[in-house]
Amino acid sequence: MKKSIAFIFPGQGSQKVGMGKDLYNSYSEAKDVFKRVDEALNQKLSKIIFDGDENELKLTSNTQPALMAVSLAIIKVLESKIGKKISDFLEIVLGHSLGEYSSLCSIGSIGLEDTAKILRIRGDAMQNSVKNIKTRMVAVLGLDIEKVEEKLEELSKDTSFLCEVANDNCPGQVILSGLASSVDLVEKEFKSIGARSLIDLPVSAPFHCSLMQPASEIMVEALEKLYIQEPKVKFINNVSAEFLSEPGEIKKKLAEQVCKRVRWRESILKVSQSNIETIIEVGSGKVLTGLNKRMKIDKRFDNISSLDDMEKFLKLYGEKIWKGMF
């Protein structure tokens, strides 16, 4: 069977109160996912997702399992509708930051309950890594990665400077993370070399930089206890933007990932070099779809984040997948 579809899974920043509620109200498969996540965490996370306070949902310990739950609810409904596991028709899966866990869970490499629990550990570890230190994360718009890296290297000659590339998202959008004093300096310097703007990100910790090393160490220990099955679908990891299949290597990269750069631009370029024709974002929002379209690669981009999106996907691809044409 020809396989030409990649599924991608969103990370933090895509969350919104009410996400997934239409699926929950319409499909027992979606309802079951949210119920199992609630039970795994011993918390009514679904209540926060559907009707909670935005600030409570934005807490990274809630955001991470919440976004995963929405993505997996979509996957389970999709599989029920098509009558096949997604691993039967997908060529590649990948995710942005926490989305890596969603991607592995979607193809059965990690169990749903285990994924919810490990993301709660990850969220708590990341939140608690930096205390009593002022930090910032900013999106740099209008500069490519080469210029950003060159300027950061120049500034890092000062040993007190700590600001690093957290996400290389797409041409013209790079996320920085680090000490507030260092990011303040970067803001002035980058505008002088042509940055269109620097936008503060409303996050509670400086993700994907060396300040997250304590979280990485916690994840090493937590991941040692986690059962990961070898992926049935090609999996691209964030840290190296390369395919990984050996469970031990996957665990190693997942632990490193919290304090390393998310190489999203490179990951999508890797997808573009395959026989993939369609890249579909599965989960809340369209953040990744927007980034990918700026890559200007010859692929079709789509997303499934709602009931309407689900129906659209099934209309376009359902019969072809069922007949083995994808």
Strand ranges across the sheet with 163-170: 163-170, 173-179, 135-141, 197-200
Average pLDDT of the segment spanning 274-283: 94
Global confidence as pTM? 0.95
Concerning whether 267 is annotated as a catalytic residue, the answer is no
Q: pLDDT band for 204, please (50, 70, 90 cuts).
A: confident
Distance CA 291, CA 285 (A): 12
Distance CA 129, CA 148 (A): 26
The answer to whether the beta carbons of residues 258 and 208 sit under 8 Å apart is: yes
List beta partners, residue 141.
Answer: 173, 197
Which tens digit of pLDDT belongs to each residue from 96-114?
999 999 999 999 999 999 9
Distance CA 145, CA 312 (A): 35
Distance CA 53, CA 196 (A): 33
Say which of 46, 61, 97, 129 is annotated catalytic: 97
Percent of the chain with pLDDT strictly greater than 90 = 87
- Token code pair at residue 309: 């999106």
Please determine, for residue 16, whether its predicted confidence score (pLDDT) is greater than 80. Answer: yes
Sorted by where each begins, the domain ranges of the chain are: 5-129+211-322, 135-204
Please determine, for residue 1, whether its predicted confidence score (pLDDT) is greater than 60. Answer: no
Q: Strand, coil or helix: what is 43?
A: coil
Phi then psi for 110, rounded to 5 degrees? -130, 140
CA dihedral 173, 179, 182, 186 (to 10 degrees): 10
Say which of 14, 96, 177, 208 is annotated catalytic: 208
Which tens digit of pLDDT belongs to each residue from 139-195?
999 999 999 999 999 999 999 999 999 999 999 999 999 999 999 999 889 988 999
The answer to whether the beta carbons of residues 103 and 90 sit under 8 Å apart is: no
Concerning whether 97 is annotated as a catalytic residue, the answer is yes
Q: Is the dihedral of CA 191, 14, 16, 117 positive or negative?
A: negative
- Token code pair at residue 251: 């665990």
Please determine, for residue 320, whether its predicted confidence score (pLDDT) is greater than 90. Answer: no
CATH number for 5-129+211-322: choose from 3.30.2010.10, 3.40.366.10, 3.30.920.30, 3.40.50.1480.
3.40.366.10
pLDDT at residue 325 in the model: 59
Expressed in angstroms, the distance from the first to the final Cα of the chain is 7
Q: Are strands 135-141 and 163-170 parallel, antiparallel or unpaired?
A: unpaired
Nearest residue to 312 (alpha-carbon basis) of 321, 320, 303: 303
CATH number for 135-204: choose from 3.30.70.250, 3.30.110.30, 3.40.50.261, 3.40.50.800.
3.30.70.250
Which tens digit of pLDDT belongs to each residue from 113-134?
999 999 999 999 999 998 889 9
